[in-house]
Amino acid sequence: MKQLDIGVVGAGPAGLAVALFLSRAGHRVEILERFDTPAPVGSGLLMQPAGLTVLAALGLFDTIQARGNRIDRLHGADAVSGRTVLDVRYDAAPGGRYGLAVQRAALFNTLHDAVVADGIPIRTGINLASTVQHGERVILRDQASRVVGDYDLVIDASGARSLLAAGSTSAPTIRDLTYGAFWATLDGAGAAHDRTALLQRYDKAKVMIGLLPAGRATVGDPDKVAFFWSLKIADVEAVKAAGLSRWKSVILDYWPDCQPFLDQIGDWDQLTLARYAHRTALPPFSGNLVFIGDSAHSTSPQLGQGANMALLDAAALSHALSTSGDIPSALKAYARARRNHVRLFQMLSLAFTPFYQSDSTAIAWVRDRLVSTIAKVPPMPGFLAAIVAGTVIDPFKSAGLTEHDWLSQRSQADTALPEVNAARSSAQI
Ligand SMILES: Cc1cc2nc3c(=O)[nH]c(=O)nc-3n(C[C@H](O)[C@H](O)[C@H](O)COP(=O)(O)OP(=O)(O)OC[C@H]3O[C@@H](n4cnc5c(N)ncnc54)[C@H](O)[C@@H]3O)c2cc1C
């Protein structure tokens, strides 16, 4: 493929990663971002082996690993009875895989620093609203309909509320999910918590409380924990009106270990309300405008795949452009490469979410009695581990990637984080 002029809309994980891949492949790339200063939005997230493999392909594995916190298992218990409801361990599947919990700031800093080091321009304070296909070029317009750029290819990585996707021929149908969550990033030092696991407590499917030990924004910074509380969006105002003390006492009744974290919350402003929408843009391109990350597909974060899928999209699009003769065939190849993996995880997210976020007591009963029992019977532990890892079907080959070598990195990680190893060996839930 000839050298292309490429405009990337959005400096989130998808936009930053695709800009790195394509600039390194020799294209002229610029990023356009609505914020005056590009910045991460939100609290912590769980990077899976799928997304970590993409970061490794960009040469960023060691950087993210030094900032993140290795996660070996996902453990959820009924808050009332204490019974284990969910226990997924990465090592139930072969290969030595593990997750890495990170602050959003850590993922952002890792990618953004690389973009700056590679000299990729970022134009800020530009709120993109529409595109016009003009022959083989795409013209980008902002919200005041001003032309801000003219490219061979525009990559929309502007997230789940993308105006460009909504205005395209691939506009997805948006299903706003009833439940969302309050999230906060809190100090982890001094609090007794298992640093090797994502921990959750449930009361049926209407209450879900979570703690994710999310590492540090940059090496030397204090370790943080991402805390979340699931609730119906329609109940947010009533919860706030009842007051912060009432909200904290409800949580402490369920899970007293949350005390040191709740003590750090003195104002509702410390909590971010996340709303979720389920949507898929099909096909993930329209003319010479292509969608990646949440702009192409978003869902509830129940399976913790969104940022990982965004990174896989970035790698797959870059691979398709490097192995196709022209843009239309490259975009079709990108759509083919990601189709099955995206479909599967969109379907699984839609199926799993009501088990953890819904008003149904019947679904919660099935989860607590049947699913938790079946989940222990081989080959289910390995299958669940592969779902969580994002590898239940191979996402790598079609994106031109080779999976990261977990076994060799594992020993390096163990050397790097002795205090985590101590916690890991003593962790008993
Ligand atoms: C509460 C919560 C928890 C989550 N937990 C996990 C997890 O554990 N693991 C995981 O993998 N995923 C998780 N996700 C999903 C993950 O956050 C997203 O899938 C991921 O951020 C998508 O990346 P993106 O780059 O596509 O979009 P975004 O991260 O949304 O980035 C979009 C960028 O585009 C910019 N932008 C938006 N509109 C415009 C515009 N009009 N013009 C210019 N710029 C614009 C934004 O400012 C932003 O910089 C979670 C999501 C939420 C809400």
Q: List strands edge to edge, sheet with 285-286.
A: 122-123, 28-32, 5-9, 153-156, 289-291, 285-286
CB within 8 A of 376, min separation 6: which ones?
87
For ligand 1, atom 9: residue with the closest CA = 304
Residue in the block written with tokens 């002795």:
418
Output the CA 354–ligand 1 centroid distance in Å.
22
Q: Of all atoms in ligand 1, which is nearest to the CA of residue 276?
A: 53
Output the CA 362–ligand 1 centroid distance in Å.
32
Residues pairing with 153 in the sheet: 6
Output the CA 44–ligand 1 centroid distance in Å.
12
Three-state SS annotation for the chain: CCCCEEEEECCCHHHHHHHHHHHHCCCEEEEECCCCCCCCCCCEEEECHHHHHHHHHCCCHHHHHHHCEEECEEEEEECCCCCEEEEEEHHHCCCCCCEEEEEHHHHHHHHHHHHHHCCCCEECCCCEEEEEEECCEEEEEECCCCEEEEECEEEECCCCCCHHHHCCCCCCCCEECCEEEEEEEEECCCCCCCCCEEEEEEECCCEEEEEEEEECCCCCCCCEEEEEEEEEHHHHHHHHHHCHHHHHHHHHHHCHHHHHHHCCCCCHHHCEEECCEEEECCCCEECCEEECHHHCEECCHHHCCHHHHHHHHHHHHHHHHHHCCCHHHHHHHHHHHHHHHHHHHHHHHHHHHHHHCCCCHHHHHHHHHHHHHHCCCCCHHHHHHHHHHCCCCCCCHHHCCCCCCHHHHHHHHHHHCHHHHHHHHHCCC
Cα dihedral 44, 91, 347, 82, rounded to 10, equals -70
CA within 13 Å, CB half, 16: 22
Q: Of all atoms in ligand 1, which is nearest to the CA of residue 162?
A: 38
Tens of pLDDT, residue by residue, the chain (429 residues):
899 999 999 999 999 999 999 999 999 999 999 999 877 777 899 999 999 999 999 999 999 999 999 999 999 999 999 999 999 999 999 999 999 999 999 999 999 999 999 999 999 999 999 999 999 999 999 999 999 999 999 999 999 999 999 999 999 999 999 999 999 999 987 776 788 999 999 999 899 999 999 999 999 999 999 999 999 999 999 999 999 999 999 999 999 999 999 999 999 999 999 999 999 999 999 999 999 999 999 999 989 999 999 999 999 999 999 999 999 999 999 999 999 999 999 999 999 899 889 899 999 888 888 888 888 999 999 999 999 999 999 999 999 999 999 998 554 554 445 455 454 444 433
**What pLDDT shows up at residue 399?**
98
Q: List strands edge to edge, sheet with 137-142.
A: 128-134, 137-142, 147-151
For ligand 1, atom 37: residue with the closest CA = 158
User: Using alpha carbons only, how large is the chain's radius of gyration in Å?
Assistant: 21
**What pLDDT shows up at residue 368?**
85
Q: Of all atoms in ligand 1, which is nearest to the CA of residue 164?
A: 41
Cα–Cα separations (whole angstroms), residue 164 to 161, 227, 270, 281:
9, 32, 31, 11
Residue in the block written with tokens 């620093």:
113
For ligand 1, say whether the CB of 131 is within 6 Å of any of its atoms: no
For ligand 1, say whether the CB of 127 is within 6 Å of any of its atoms: yes
- Residue 422 burial (CB count, 10 A): 11
For ligand 1, say whether the CB of 14 is within 6 Å of any of its atoms: yes
Q: Of all atoms in ligand 1, which is nearest to the CA of residue 11?
A: 49
Question: What domains does the chain contain, in order, with CATH numbers?
Answer: 5-176+276-399 (3.50.50.60)
**Could you tell me the maximum CA-CA distance found in the chain, to the nearest angstrom?**
64
Three-state SS annotation for 85-104: EEEEEHHHCCCCCCEEEEEH
Q: Mutate which of 74, 143, 158, 300 to test ligand 1's pocket (most atoms within 8 Å of Cβ)?
A: 158
Q: Mutate which of 20, 45, 131 to test ligand 1's pocket (most atoms within 8 Å of Cβ)?
A: 45
For ligand 1, say whether the CB of 89 is within 6 Å of any of its atoms: no
For ligand 1, say whether the CB of 158 is within 6 Å of any of its atoms: yes
d(CA 185, CA 142): 33
Output the CA 175–ligand 1 centroid distance in Å.
17
Output the CA 9–ligand 1 centroid distance in Å.
12
For ligand 1, say whether the CB of 188 is within 6 Å of any of its atoms: no
For ligand 1, atom 27: residue with the closest CA = 159
For ligand 1, say whether the CB of 45 is within 6 Å of any of its atoms: yes
For ligand 1, atom 15: residue with the closest CA = 306
Q: Are 67 and 109 in contact (CB under 8 A)?
A: yes
**What pLDDT shows up at residue 409?**
59
Residue of 228, 219, 227, 220 lying closest to 188 (CA atoms): 227
For ligand 1, say whether the CB of 183 is within 6 Å of any of its atoms: yes
Q: Of all atoms in ligand 1, which is nearest to the CA of residue 46?
A: 8
For ligand 1, say whether the CB of 159 is within 6 Å of any of its atoms: yes
Output the CA 294–ligand 1 centroid distance in Å.
6
**What pLDDT shows up at residue 429?**
31
Handedness of CA 199, 426, 214, 68 (dihedral sign): negative
Q: Mutate which of 21, 32, 34, 199 to test ligand 1's pocket (most atoms within 8 Å of Cβ)?
A: 34
d(CA 21, CA 292): 13
In terms of DSSP bridges, do strands 277-280 and 289-291 run parallel, antiparallel, or are they unpaired?
unpaired
